[in-house]
């Protein structure tokens, strides 16, 4: 963990180092992934079954007819879920749906003084594939966060793929799929699942876009199939930046830092404060909380390698630091949280006030928890309904408005050396 | 050119072939591009100057202090433009600005029954880089289409890069930069320009996102720097699909097909009609128009290799074909154009009625001409104001609403094995 002070002579260099610290070692699986995709394209289900037998150890009795997880299997999974967890998941789904319903965009058309009608119309994607990791990173909350906005957008076909290594699958993941309106679920993962979603096989019809988190193989496969289908962002390790003043409770701050750090040894938790006392108390509180945290080993490594406490003279000094870090999650626990938030340009999501721990946003707040990481909040947004829709612009000229606009189009077409463009206008004006 | 008939026994296979025809041979420049980027990262301006001297033949007198195109040079370029072209460009800029101003998104916040406030806020990107090709593909209209939406979004720093091979540059390109509010212009192109925009050099500060068309080197460089910065889509060859019935004027249809075909030998122009007479008349009209078109050689190759006329029994039959082709540009010249348009899901832009040739949309219609190609209208939209903004979600709980929601978040955190998440909520509720 580093302690920085904006007044220290070497602060600029130290902060720059924090900013550019590489938290991910990209596994070079690109060549292997290229081969897997080519094999799925060439041999379809046969390749899918082979890879699934091998990577997920499903044995020689596994055939293509078992790729699809049936409604009966999903029923059984739902029945196997603890009632309390199921109820919490239902509350989360309702709140995520209510929030995202407010994101549905409006169509628009207007006719200008010349008589030209111009506007746009939004339509849902025809189909979407949702990748869900298997094993310990298989989070039912992420199923909701990816599938619910697709349903709100009106996507008529939502397909989920999830590997079942050694035939294990978290029943809550299937319950989340059911709750969020997923139409088809397949027990397949890795680059082979991404290839099937992009190109289709006899068992799995192709989709228009693939979303959802995954390991290095999945990320490499998504990059490769981009263009054939759409993809969402490639997620990196999670981050939180907390702005807190001397009024904040150091134990609460420490809990929030560790809630981030426990995700992954490459996660990053940073505190910026104007209070020496809070800086010291929070550091102590982190150490204390670590002694009883189940995932202490992971959290400790993240805090040690990437954690930071930055002391500033005042929060105006903090704003440009926030914008450069462009954190995925920004908690503001200061007296003037709202005013301070309004000065920030770059953040994936902002959590206002001391009663809004980031973990509320992970589950039941309503806003999406799929957010831009690794400083990409400088140029991108969290997942939302618009990611499952696309906009078609519309233009309609009358004979009169074409007469008014045509000459300028003809001039520009000719000035760009595109006489055919000019003629397609001129022929309608007898020019 | 292929002639297809939806009633022919082999139609499905023929249409599938049309759909999957590879119109681009991807030049494999990835390794070279990787080297150029690494060199610019390592040596900054020195590398930029070397590559520019070599690739644009600017000679040994070219140094880093000449990278920036000065305001005086832009003044001189504007003065050198033909008045008529400048006036047309000004009209285009005004119309593009008026259209895109309607796309500015609204912030939103609502407080629910529990007392949770949730919403979002849109902010402009802090900086954007616009790539403009040099030579014959240097289109002033594209400068407007990329830069005006960035200005409307409120981007405070819009940077343009454009190569000046042999020291030539279309003065209208600089005029378009001036008209659309570009803040900085640099005479540099290729992968080296993309690297400079992404990583910065002493002369060119880095940007948050890079947009604009380019050759294979530029496309490969954009793919490589994605993540470090945002990028727009990778544009492929242009396409038009025209739906026209027996009332359409075959010479107008032919002019529109050729306006597309003249772009590039890899462009694609397709006509779908329910009229045998129009199909035949349009084909004849294309041949006739080709005899006098300046870019006939290019247009003829495109029409020969990728053109198609598809006959259908009725336009209901055409709708699924349109959605599978997902054309960049869709012209509808039928009696019921509006009703037919409403049935289509996948298209980049729709041009309604016989007085709306696609070329009007290229220049002065108002909507953007940067549109999804190569069937990517299935999952993406044309360029717009949202591409230069990003959304930050906001969440604020009161002590009471945290008490209401907290238990569900604790349950979900524990069910996902993330005890630290659960504790960050529980500690605030004394649980």
d(CA A383, CA A210): 13
Domain contains B17? no
Q: Do A110 and B102 touch (CB under 8 A)?
A: yes
Residues B367 and B404 in one domain: no
pLDDT per position as a tens digit, A60-82 = 999 999 999 999 999 999 999 99
Q: For A231, which residue in chain B has the nearest alpha carbon?
A: B379
Residues A190 and A316 in one domain: no
Quick check: B207 and B161 in contact, CB under 8 A?
Answer: no
Cα dihedral A71, A77, A82, A85 sign: negative
Mean pLDDT of chain B: 96
Please report where in the chains the tokens 């993809």 appear, as a residue.
Answer: A231
pLDDT of residue A363: 98
d(CA A217, CA A32): 9
Min mean pLDDT across A212-216, A321-325, B86-90, B355-359 is at: A212-216
What mean pLDDT do residues B22-51 have? 91
Selecting among B184, B239, B328, B358, the annotated active-site residue is: B328
Indicate the pairing of strand B209-211 with strand B230-231.
parallel
Please report where in the chains the tokens 């007898």 appear, as a residue.
Answer: A430
d(CA A187, CA A151): 21
Q: From the CA of B376, how many Å to the nearest CA of chain A? A: 7
Mutate to test the interface with A, among B391, B401, B414 (most CBs of A within 10 A): B391
d(CA B366, CA B369): 9
Domain that holds residue B421: 397-426
A231, A259, A291: which is the final residue of a domain?
A231
Residues A297 and A350 in one domain: yes
Is B238 annotated among the ligand-binding residues?
A: yes
Q: From the CA of B279, how many Å to the nearest CA of chain A? A: 18
In degrees, rounded to 5, the angle at the alpha carbon of residue B241 between the alpha carbons of residues B237 and B245 is: 165
Of A366, A399, A409, nearest to B360 by CB-CB distance is A409
Residue A327: name the closest of A254, A405, A392, A270 by CA: A270
Q: Angle, nearest 10°, between helix axes A30-43 and A190-199?
A: 50
Domain contains A386? no
Residue B177: which residues within 8 A CB-CB, separation 6 or more?
B74, B143, B147, B160, B185
d(CA B20, CA A206): 14
pLDDT of residue B20: 86
Going along A287-428, which residue ranges are E strands? 308-311, 329-333, 349-352, 389-396
ipTM exceeds 0.90: yes
Which are the catalytic amino acids of A? 328-329
Quick check: B295 and B262 in contact, CB under 8 A?
Answer: yes
Quick check: B138 and B405 in contact, CB under 8 A?
Answer: no
Total length of chain A: 431
Residues A107 and A250 in one domain: no
What mean pLDDT do residues A172-197 have? 97
Residue A4: which residues within 8 A CB-CB, separation 6 or more?
A11, A14, A15, A18, A308, A309, A310, A311
What mean pLDDT do residues A147-155 have? 98
- The CATH number that applies at residue A191 is 3.40.50.1980
Mutate to test the interface with A, among B95, B271, B322, B396 (most CBs of A within 10 A): B396
Residue B113: which residues within 8 A CB-CB, separation 6 or more?
none
Of A123, A352, A379, nearest to B229 by CB-CB distance is A379
Residue A30 has pLDDT above 90, yes or no: no
What mean pLDDT do residues B36-45 have? 98
Residues A137 and A14 in one domain: no
Determine how many CB atoms are found less than 10 A away from the CB of residue A66: 16
Residues A73 and A196 in one domain: yes
Provide the 8-state DSSP code for B1: -
Classify residue B136 by burial, with Cβ atoms within 10 Å: 0-12, 13-18, 19+. Answer: exposed
Q: Looking at beta carbons, which residues of chain B come within 8 Å of A252?
A: 424, 427-428
- The CATH number that applies at residue A409 is 1.20.5.1300
Q: Looking at beta carbons, which residues of chain A come within 8 Å of B208?
A: 378-379
Residues A180 and A221 in one domain: yes
pLDDT of residue A23: 79
Q: Which two tokens stand for residue B273?
A: 């009609």
Residues B258 and B141 in one domain: no
Min mean pLDDT across A232-241, B24-33, B187-196, B376-385 is at: B24-33
Mutate to test the interface with B, among A173, A296, A365, A377 (most CBs of B within 10 A): A365
Percent of chain A at pLDDT exceeding 90? 93
Per-residue confidence at A27, pLDDT binned at 50, 70, 90? confident
Residue A429 has pLDDT above 80, yes or no: yes
Distance of alpha carbon B430 from its chain centroid, rounded? Answer: 53
Of A360, A377, A395, nearest to B360 by CB-CB distance is A395
Indicate the pairing of strand B239-244 with strand B268-273.
parallel
pLDDT of residue B293: 98
Residue A170: which residues within 8 A CB-CB, separation 6 or more?
A138, A140
Residue A175 has pLDDT above 80, yes or no: yes
Q: Between chain A and chain B, how many beta carbons pairs sit less than 8 Å apart? A: 364
Q: Do A112 and B118 touch (CB under 8 A)?
A: no
Q: Looking at beta carbons, which residues of chain B come within 8 Å of A124?
A: 345
Residues B129 and B196 in one domain: yes
| A80-117 exposure pattern, b = at least 16 Cβ within 10 A, e = fewer | ebeeebbebbebbbebbbebbeebebeeeeeeeeebbb
Domain contains A391? no
Domain contains B157? yes
Q: From the CA of A4, how many Å to the nearest CA of chain B? A: 25
Cα dihedral A22, B417, A86, A353 sign: negative
Q: From the CA of A382, how many Å to the nearest CA of chain B? A: 7
Number of domains chain A is built from: 3
d(CA B303, CA A415): 24
Quick check: B128 and B157 in contact, CB under 8 A?
Answer: yes
**End-to-end Cα, chain A, rounded Å:** 73
Q: Do B418 and A350 touch (CB under 8 A)?
A: no
Active-site annotation holds for B355 = no
Long-range contacts of A9-18 (CB under 8 A, 24+ apart): A15/A310, A15/A321, A15/A324, A18/A270, A18/A308, A18/A325
Residue A34: which residues within 8 A CB-CB, separation 6 or more?
A224
Please report where in the chains the tokens 């169509």 appear, as a residue.
Answer: A107
Determine how many CB atoms are found less than 10 A away from the CB of residue B301: 16
Of A299, A354, A357, nearest to B425 by CB-CB distance is A357
Percent of chain A at pLDDT exceeding 70? 100
A196, A212, A231: which is the final residue of a domain?
A231
d(CA B79, CA A250): 64
Q: For B123, which residue in chain A has the nearest alpha carbon?
A: A345
Residues A227 and A355 in one domain: no
What mean pLDDT do residues A117-122 have? 98
Q: Looking at beta carbons, which residues of chain A come within 8 Å of B394?
A: 341, 349-350, 352, 367
Residue B24 has pLDDT above 80, yes or no: no
Domain contains A373? no
Selecting among B184, B329, B333, B358, the annotated active-site residue is: B329
Residues A91 and A131 in one domain: yes
Q: Which two tokens stand for residue A3?
A: 């302690």
Per-residue confidence at A138, pLDDT binned at 50, 70, 90? confident
Q: For B429, which residue in chain A has the nearest alpha carbon?
A: A355
For residue B232, give the H/E element and its range. Answer: none
Q: Do A84 and B411 touch (CB under 8 A)?
A: yes
Q: Looking at beta carbons, which residues of chain A come within 8 Å of B425?
A: 357, 359-360
Percent of chain B at pLDDT exceeding 70? 100
d(CA B122, CA B389): 6
Residue B137 has pLDDT above 80, yes or no: no
d(CA A318, CA A320): 6
Q: From the CA of A44, how many Å to the nearest CA of chain B? A: 18
d(CA A145, CA A89): 11
pLDDT per position as a tens digit, A252-279 = 999 999 999 999 999 999 999 999 999 9
Q: Which two tokens stand for residue A9?
A: 């002579």
pLDDT per position as a tens digit, B336-386 = 999 999 999 999 999 999 999 999 999 999 999 999 999 999 999 999 999
pLDDT per position as a tens digit, A341-378 = 999 999 999 999 999 999 999 999 999 999 999 999 99
Q: Angle, nearest 10°, between helix axes B250-261 and B276-290?
A: 50
Residue B318 has pLDDT above 90, yes or no: yes
Q: Looking at beta carbons, which residues of chain A come within 8 Å of B299?
A: 420
A204, A231, A258: which is the final residue of a domain?
A231
Is A192 annotated among the ligand-binding residues?
A: yes
DSSP 3-state of A134: coil
Q: Do B395 and A87 touch (CB under 8 A)?
A: no
Distance of alpha carbon A283 from its chain centroid, rounded? Answer: 30
Indicate the pairing of strand B117-124 with strand B108-111.
antiparallel
Is A346 annotated among the ligand-binding residues?
A: no
Q: Do A412 and B85 touch (CB under 8 A)?
A: yes
Domain contains A117? no
Residues B83 and B150 in one domain: yes
Q: Looking at beta carbons, which residues of chain B come within 8 Å of A125?
A: 378-379
Cα dihedral A216, A218, A221, A227 sign: negative
d(CA B96, CA B364): 7
d(CA B240, CA B309): 12
pLDDT of residue A223: 87
Domain contains B386? no
What mean pLDDT do residues A186-206 have? 98
Domain contains B14? no
Is A183 annotated among the ligand-binding residues?
A: no
Mean pLDDT of chain A: 96
């Amino acid at each position: 963990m580093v302690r920085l002070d904006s007044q220290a002579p070497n602060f600029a260099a130290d902060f720059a180092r924090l900013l550019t610290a590489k938290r991910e070692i990209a596994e070079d699986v690109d060549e292997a992934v290229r081969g897997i995709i080519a094999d799925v394209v060439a041999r379809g289900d046969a390749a899918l079954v082979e890879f699934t037998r091998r990577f997920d150890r499903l044995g020689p009795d596994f055939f293509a007819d078992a790729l699809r997880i049936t409604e009966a299997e999903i029923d059984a999974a739902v029945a196997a879920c603890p009632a309390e967890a199921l109820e919490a998941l239902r509350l989360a789904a309702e709140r995520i749906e209510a929030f995202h319903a407010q994101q549905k965009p409006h169509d628009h058309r207007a006719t200008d003084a010349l008589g030209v009608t111009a506007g746009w119309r939004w339509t849902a994607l025809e189909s979407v594939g949702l990748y869900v990791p298997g094993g310990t990173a298989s989070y039912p909350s992420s199923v909701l966060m990816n599938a619910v906005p697709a349903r709100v957008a009106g996507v008529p076909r939502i397909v989920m793929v999830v590997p079942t290594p050694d035939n294990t699958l978290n029943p809550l993941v299937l319950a989340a799929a059911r709750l969020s309106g997923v139409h088809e679920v397949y027990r397949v993962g890795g680059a082979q699942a991404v290839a099937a979603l992009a190109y289709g096989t006899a068992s799995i019809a192709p989709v228009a876009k693939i979303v959802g988190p995954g390991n290095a193989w999945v990320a490499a496969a998504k990059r490769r199939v981009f263009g054939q289908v759409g993809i969402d962002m490639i997620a990196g390790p999670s981050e939180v930046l907390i702005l807190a003043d001397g009024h904040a409770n150091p134990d609460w701050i420490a809990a929030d830092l560790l809630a981030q750090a426990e995700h992954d040894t490459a996660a990053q938790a940073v505190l910026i404060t104007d209070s020496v006392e809070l800086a010291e108390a929070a550091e102590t509180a982190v150490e204390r909380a670590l002694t009883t945290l189940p995932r202490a080993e992971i959290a400790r490594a993240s805090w040690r390698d990437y954690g930071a406490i930055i002391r500033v003279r005042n929060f105006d000094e903090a704003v440009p630091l926030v914008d450069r870090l462009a954190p995925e999650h920004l908690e503001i626990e200061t007296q003037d949280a709202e005013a301070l938030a309004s000065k920030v340009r770059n953040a994936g999501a902002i959590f206002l006030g001391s009663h809004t721990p980031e973990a509320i946003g992970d589950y039941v707040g309503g806003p999406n928890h799929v957010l831009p990481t690794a400083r990409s909040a400088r140029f991108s947004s969290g997942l939302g309904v618009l990611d499952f829709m696309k906009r078609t612009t519309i233009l309609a000229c009358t004979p009169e408005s074409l007469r008014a606009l045509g000459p300028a189009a003809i001039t520009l077409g000719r000035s760009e050396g595109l006489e055919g463009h000019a003629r397609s206008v001129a022929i309608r004006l007898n020019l």
